[in-house]
A and B are shown apart, each in its own frame.
Chain A
Amino acid sequence: MDFRSLFTRKSKSSEIATQRLQLILTQDRFEVGEDSMKKLQFELTEVLAKYFEFTMNSVKMSLKREGNSYVLMADFPFNQSKKNR
């Protein structure tokens, strides 16, 4: 058992559910497996990493329904452009 979990509050089950659902729906909508998703995420990050600096695991991707189609949402939080440094 993690020692810290004695002191920190357990995260709410609804929060866990929404996080899991986000991932499940994105995979279902893409109709690809987790591996391909990870690969896509990795390759996109590689391209963007040429221009921006960011930490790999801060990247979030999802598909959102908009009317009859889907919009790919990708969040790449970056610190600062490499060029500007």
Chain B
Amino acid sequence: MGKVIVITSGKGGVGKTTSTANLGTALAMIGKTVVMVDADVGLRNLDVVMGLESRVVYTSMDVFEKRCELYKALVKDRRVEDLMLLAASQRNRKDDIKPEQMQEVCEKLKQEYDFVLVDSPAGIEQGFRNAAAGADEAIIITTPDLSAIRDADRIIGLLQNQEIQPINLVLNRLSPALVKKGNMISKNDVLDFLNIDLLGVVPEDTGVIASTNRGIPLVHNAGSQGAEAYMRIARRMTGQRVPIPEMREENFFSHVANWFSRNK
């Protein structure tokens, strides 16, 4: 039996959907069976980031309201085997869904798949409650800035009250150069504040924009810093011991080295 992991942050725009898409893809690439569930009813985007928007026929709402069988609502990924998406309804509102409905679907999915990743909406209201309802574990996404860390702290408190355990942290969009200059809160300071286990650090990678434009998750672009970071996180999620490297600062020489390795 697999497990249900809710991917959440409190604050919007810190990379929940991007992380869900990349971790889902990375886990499937290393041979796990994965379903990604978009819980952002009314503002769905996971289908777009995955490049699957044209394939969505049914949504989780159709499953909840018994218009469609669960397995029929799952959209197959175009590139990787054993990677599925359950899209959210765009025409409904977050309070049209009850936590029990979400719980039931997650329960069924984890019988069949190794990983069920639930992409939570921003906020701490009904949408978040629904997303967390069926979760065994949680991954908190934060960026190293005040508002994101503050909101992450609030979310961690709420998840702990629901006895979701473990709650792990992914620190997204870290820029080693800015940390060095003293213009960005460091990894260690973030960990000090939130005091939960670190699952991984994803460096700022401008490749994310192009990857979203194309609808191809970053992990397909092997060799980029962001892709490598997500692959390491995925391996850790499967229980492998993969060390978290100290982030290198990008400089002239590393750019030249990257250029050569990309143009081989």
Contacts and interface: CB of A to CB of B under 8 A. Distances in A.
Interface of A: 12-15, 17-18, 20-22, 24-25, 28-29, 64-66, 68
Nearest to A66: B195
B156 interface: yes
Interface string B140-163: 000001100110011011001000
A14 B185 CA distance: 5
Contacts of A13: 182-183
Contacts of B184: 14
Given A25-B193, A29-B153, A68 B160 contact: yes
A33 B176 CA distance: 35
Contacts, number: 45
B63 interface: no
Interface of B: 145-146, 149-150, 153-154, 156-157, 160, 179, 181-186, 189, 193-196
A21 B183 contact: no
B150 A25 contact: yes
Given A14-B179, A21-B150, A28-B150, A65 B156 contact: yes
Contact of B183 (A12, A18, A64): A12
A18 B189 contact: yes
A21 B193 contact: yes
Nearest to B194: A65
A17 B192 CA distance: 14
Given A18-B189, A29-B153, A65 B195 contact: yes
